């Protein structure tokens, strides 16, 4: 079984993915960590020192590499990974099932307000209201890609396993 988890920042891709992989005794790959390891640099400092365009280019390159793998795994992708170039088409064409973790905007904004320092995409949103407004628009744009996933999960705090069984 190979699963690709997609969804907005803060939707729980890594947390749910890791827990699910552990229960199913599957390998878990966190794509952000994979990219950081290959680049030998944190995502925040890649954004700072080389800029978002460079980041997106490398993201596309490592995604291609990862999609060639055929072994069983649960992979959590970055929030923007499916939303640039032909990434979503590639994900759909690869072996495996894509799963969009759909979480309401208010829930995402609440979670992200507490963690915005680690998220270069959100760093200019300096009040909870601005952040929520930004997330609402950004998620609306990205939903075009996310909604192409094979499975859409509307989670309200349940585990991925419970969600997949529902």
For the annotated binding site for ATP, the residues are 10-15, 119, 158
Q: Which residues have a Cβ under 8 Å from the Cβ of 52 and sit 6 or more positions away?
A: 120
Residue of 12, 17, 78, 82 interacting with ligand S3P (CB under 6 A): 78
Query: What are the DSSP calls for 16-84, one per residue?
Result: HHHHHHHHHT--EEEHHHHHHHHHTS-HHHHHHHH-HHHHHHHHHHHHHHHHT--S-EEEEPPTTGGGS
Pair of tokens at residue 128? 């909870």
Q: Does 121 bind ligand S3P (CB under 6 A)?
A: yes
Min dist CB 111 to ligand S3P, Å, is 11
Q: Does 75 bind ligand S3P (CB under 6 A)?
A: no
**Pairwise CA distance, residues 92 & 105, whole Å:** 25
Decide: 34 and 65 in contact? Cβ < 8 Å: no
Q: Which strand ranges, in their side-by-side order, compose the sheet holding 73-76?
A: 28-30, 73-76, 2-6, 97-102, 151-154
**Pairwise CA distance, residues 126 & 86, whole Å:** 32
Min dist CB 52 to ligand S3P, Å, is 8
Min dist CB 84 to ligand S3P, Å, is 9
Residue of 17, 28, 75, 80 interacting with ligand S3P (CB under 6 A): 80
**Pairwise CA distance, residues 48 & 82, whole Å:** 22
Q: Choose between 79 and 96: whose C-beta lies nearer to ligand S3P.
A: 79
Q: Does 21 bind ligand S3P (CB under 6 A)?
A: no
Residue list for the binding site: 10-15, 32, 56, 79, 119, 142, 158
Q: Does 120 bind ligand S3P (CB under 6 A)?
A: yes
Q: Does 119 bind ligand S3P (CB under 6 A)?
A: yes
Show the site string, 27-56: x = touches ligand S3P by CB under 6 A, - = not.
Answer: -----x----------x-------------
Binding site for ligand S3P (CB under 6 A): 9, 13, 32, 43, 78-80, 119-121
């Amino acid at each position: 079984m190979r699963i690709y988890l997609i969804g907005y920042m803060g939707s729980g891709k890594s947390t749910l993915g890791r827990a699910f992989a552990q229960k199913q005794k599957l390998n878990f790959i966190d794509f952000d960590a994979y990219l950081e390891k290959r680049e030998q640099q944190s995502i925040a400092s890649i954004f700072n020192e080389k800029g978002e365009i460079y980041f997106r280019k490398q993201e596309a390159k490592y995604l291609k590499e990862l999609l060639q793998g055929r072994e069983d795994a649960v992979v959590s992708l970055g929030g923007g990974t499916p939303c640039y170039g032909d990434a979503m088409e590639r994900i759909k064409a690869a072996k495996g099932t894509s799963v969009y973790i759909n979480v309401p905007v208010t829930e995402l904004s609440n979670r992200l307000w507490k963690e915005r320092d680690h998220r270069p995409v959100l760093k200019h949103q300096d009040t909870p209201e601005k952040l929520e407004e930004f997330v609402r628009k950004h998620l609306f744009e990205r939903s075009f890609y996310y909604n192409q996933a094979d499975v859409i999960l509307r989670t309200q705090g349940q585990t991925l396993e419970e969600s997949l069984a529902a």
